[in-house]
Structure 1
Amino acid sequence: MTSQDNMSEEHLPEASHGHGGGPVVAPDGYFADPGLPPHEHRRTDIDEKAARRAERQVAMWFMLSMVATVAFIASYVIFKPGPTHHVYIWPIGNVGPLNFSLGVTLGVSLFAIGAGAVHWARTLMSDEEHISERHPVESSPEVREQVFSDFRQGAKESGFGRRKLIRNTMIGAMAMVPLSAVVLFRDLGPLPEDKLSTTGWKAGMLLKNMNTGEPIQASDVQVGSLTFAMPADLSETDDDFQERIAKDALMLVRMQPSDIKDQKSASLGYDGVLAFSKICTHVGCPISLYEQQTHHVLCPCHQSTFDLSDGARVIFGPAGHPLPQLQIGIDTTGNLEALNGFTAPVGPGFWERSE
């Protein structure tokens, strides 16, 4: 017998009926089940007019969704895509009316459906409380054995294991059906082709100072300085400026030739002037922090650190590749120019990247 069984009646707590706000205690010493509180009826449960008003409100939300859907289709037909059709909308800025109208109408359509469903559930659907007793989730051993027995019998009767031709062709068909979805991805946009592997830099292209817009002479780059450059044929007024600068941005450093550890990297520069991609090879952030004593550059996003004196190899952080280097020289007037493209694809790695 347990110690509780040996307790005398005078030691058992008396049942409390809630006097003074205390909990209800059963004679056996355990708290009694307080049960559910009294159900409070909503206004729509006892007032038919309120119920009909709530019904109209729900219907209004659903009708608003239908109107927004029609507006979505109309917007797709009326407005034309393209940068020439952009308009200024405060405080968003310049946006295309097609994208703006499609986004607004689709958002209103989905929101109205959700709002109508929530209002319906909160005002008209039943909200009475019900008790559902817990029960074991696991099936009994007899039920599990019966399930396994039925499965084995079904597999035997189907001939799945014996008829290999049917089994193998069925597996092949089920495996190939999802491949049809890959074809649909072709309609998501033009193929990248070699855009991920190439940039706008070509042999003979001059380097232009990103701040002044003037060609950069080798004598302008001082030891210990960091200069940002871009192709001479690129201008901030170009329609594709943002797309090109995301890959063509360049940083120039100059160091004493004796400080350059990687001789291959030194051969790609000119008289100690080295040109590296400004785009971090982790997630593509622009690099701008330079420590001239160590020749290290730091990406401000995730602190990837590259040693420019050693071929811009990664010495710290999550970046997986060194910064690509641009081979440079000078023209007849002393201006720095590209002699070739980058030594590797610019930016983060991708699945088909080859160094």
Structure 2
Amino acid sequence: MKHRYLGNSGLKVSEITYGNWLTHASQVENDAAAACVHAALDAGITTFDTADMYANTAAEVVLGDALRGQRRESLEILTKAYYPVGPGGPNDTGLSRKHLMESIDGSLRRLGTDYVDLYQAHRWDNATPLEETMVAFADIVRAGKALYIGVSEWTADQLRAGAEMARELRVPFISNQPQYSALWRVIEAEVVPASRELGISQIVWSPVAQGVLTGKYLPGRTPPAGSRATDGNGGAEMIGRHLRDEVLERVQRLRPIADELSLTMAQLAVAWVLQNDNVASALIGASRPGQVQENVAASGVAIPGDLMSRIDEALGDVVDRDPAKTAAESPLR
């Protein structure tokens, strides 16, 4: 397992981050979830990402239980706050000082740790002044409850505004967590250049496009039983944007490229996002240990330039590059 620096900081994260969205306390039984976490540890993954809203706080409990007994200093534990938790009261959501201060304490309790390495704003909050949010983050860092701060799905302008305030407050703002894959490249035009300018890295989620880039979904065929596309707990909704025959046919053109590199389709997809030098880590989830072991093999893979060009040619115009779709990821409330 290779490690990379996260943003313009001294913190290293594993090239593959284990994430538990849509799996722990939701699609996967706790024993199976723990087995996946232990497989990640055995494979050299040191970075684990979660959020308080995953399974309405239960996913943090599962991850904390699975990591119990590990040397805390050898791990990077990441969590996020913004989305509604608990009964969904008026202050149970957003990036207000009240919600963030209560959220960090709840996350630490559930994870069984005194601090998180990275505390992230899960989305931009249109209803809370940025200064209120950033001062709360600064106070959380100074209290020793988080070492660094980051965000998820912020636009280039939002990143610049947040980074300017973080500099004034002297807190380390080092990461963004966007969706990114060979099919979903909306961050490339604006977010990545701004991040390079600001000393911010990407920790990218869905590098296999919710499973579409594994090649298991075939044009004109019903999705396999038990796959993400048949999951009623949120998986099917997320994958729907890619389940078009024109997309699935293009994805099948990647198979010879994967074969040429002696990679599975999933490994090719994860290795592809890691070719971007602004990406510090690719987030992977798993419902069984074998998926962890497969994806870890993408760490350290170098895809030659000619094959990167062939990937572009194979996918053609089904790739989504519209930078406006980053702003659309943040709810209006």
- With CA pairs under 8 Å and 6+ residues apart, which has the higher RCO, 1 or 2? 2
TM-score normalized by the length of structure 2:
0.21
Which structure has the larger Rg? 1
TM-score norm. by structure 1 comes to: 0.20
